[in-house]
Amino acid sequence: MGPDFPMKSKTPKRKPANPPPTFSASVLRLLRASREFRIRAGEGHRFTRIWFVMLGNRIFVRPYYDKATGWYRAFGKDPRGAITVGEREIAVRARKARGSRLFDAVDAAYALKYDTRANLKWVRGFHQTRRRKTTTELLPR
């Protein structure tokens, strides 16, 4: 006969992962209604218009042209920056995204959002391995 009390598990309990911070509901509504925004890395860069996608409440971007002086490389040196959507400027922090499943989901989100024939060339370009590796998540600062 077994004991009358529950046995303790020998596997250590894992702390639940902290969910990444999310943007406010008003910012998320604004982003969902937009096809593009302007992004600036650091303080010295100018704002550049880019495409973005959302997976749930998370925002992902990829540079099409990875220039040495571009916003993607600047985020590599300093993750702080800003985006503008409409007239609103929002402080962000960049974090490199990882994982082929996430890259696949971002690819699919770009294809779904930018689905016109004119956008097809750019969407296919975002699917290339070298661009997938540049996938960056933007978080509120």
Q: In the chain, what are the domains?
A: 25-138 (2.30.110.10)
pLDDT at 1: 52
Please give the average per-residue pLDDT across 42-68, as a whole number. 93
Q: 127 φ, ψ to 5°?
A: -80, -10
Two structure tokens written together for 109:
């989100």
pLDDT confidence of residue 22: 87
Query: What pLDDT does residue 5 have?
Result: 46
Examine the pLDDT at 9 and tell me if it is beyond 70. no
Please check the confidence at residue 102 and state whether its pLDDT lies above 60.
yes
Cα distance between the two ends of the chain: 57
Does the pLDDT at position 16 exceed 50? yes
pLDDT > 90 in the chain, percent: 76
CB neighbours of 36 closer than 8 A, spacing ≥ 6? 49, 50, 51, 52
SS in 3 state form for 44-92?
CCCCEEEECEEECCEEEECCCCCCCCCHHHHHHHCCEEEEEECCEEEEE
Average pLDDT over residues 28-36: 96
Please state, as a whole number, how many other Cβ atoms lie within 10 Å of the Cβ of residue 19: 7
**Residue 8 or residue 22, greater confidence:** 22
Q: Give yes or no for residue 125 having a pLDDT over 50.
A: yes
Q: What is the mean pLDDT of residues 91-113?
A: 96
Inter-residue contact 88 to 24 (CB < 8 Å): no
Angstrom distance (rounded) from CA 121 to CA 75? 26
- How much is the average pLDDT of 52-57? 96
Amino acid at 134: T
Residue-level pLDDT at 15: 63
